[in-house]
Amino acid sequence: MLGPQCCENPPVLNPLSGSGHVEKLGGLDVYVSGSPDSNKCVLLVSDIYGYEAPNLRALADKVAASGFYVVVPDYFYGDPYDPSHQDRPVPVWIKDHSPDKGFEDTKPVLEAIKNKGITAIGAAGMCWGGKVVVELSKEELIQAAVLLHPTYVTVDDIKDVKVPIAILGAENDFLTPPALVKQFEEILASKPEVGSYVKIFPNVSHGWTTRYDINDPEAVKAAEEAHKEMLDWFVTYVQ
């Protein structure tokens, strides 16, 4: 389920942020960064605040600088969660924007990416997006996965993962607490045919990889450490 931590530190959305651009892909508006001539793609699946979050787009640009074509879809069709709309709290908003719907919406996006000549795709999901990415992993629609402080992901989901997966959890996370992340780790350890990496980052909270304060050096450092782990995973497995 989604809880208060999912809503903490909301970003100030900016449709002009990032060095990439917005286009249509597979029926969705997407922010894209990097060379479309690359044969490697990373799909970034946002949290409930969507694809106009500046820190998320900065991460996309960072991944693109390592040679990937990066795609960040607008899964919410211009309707990201807005905490100022008190008559539409998360339990109401999520009825229109379930991760299951996000998973289905991803399929035509992946086909459109492949039609560009891209042969290997990795996907990373934050919070809400973690559930989308784990579903992609279960269906082997991607070559590698990274979950960053995911929500909705269950033990049964992890049992069915079929592609190399890294899980980056937070020490302070009521949604996917360290005890649950440890369960994920134990399950993956029993699946040697699936490459896996699990890490719980100390002294950080749910959302730390994208909803950090850019003026807080410690918060930036913690986020960048997770970004490096994610990028290293994709460099290894998205070939």
Range of the domain at 196: 4-237
- pLDDT at site 22: 98
Q: What is the mean pLDDT of residues 108-116?
A: 97
How many domains are contained in the chain?
1
| pTM exceeds cut of 0.85 | yes
3 — pLDDT class (breaks 50, 70, 90) = low
CATH number at residue 191: 3.40.50.1820
**pLDDT, position 53:** 97
Query: What secondary structure does DSSP assign to the chain, as a single string?
Result: ---GGGGSS-----TT-SSSEEEEETTEEEEEES-TT-SEEEEEE--TT-TT-HHHHHHHHHHHTTT-EEEEE-TTTT----TT-TTS-HHHHTTTS-HHHHHHHHHHHHHHHHTTT--EEEEEEEEHHHHHHHHHHHTT-SSEEEEEEESS--HHHHHT--S-EEEEEEEE-SSS-HHHHHHHHHHHHT-TTS-EEEEEEEEEETTTTTS--TT-HHHHHHHHHHHHHHHHHHHHH--
Residues 28-40 have pLDDT tens digits of 999 999 998 999 9
Question: pLDDT tens, 188-239?
Answer: 999 999 999 999 999 999 999 999 999 999 999 999 999 999 999 999 999 9
State the average pLDDT over residues 98-116: 98
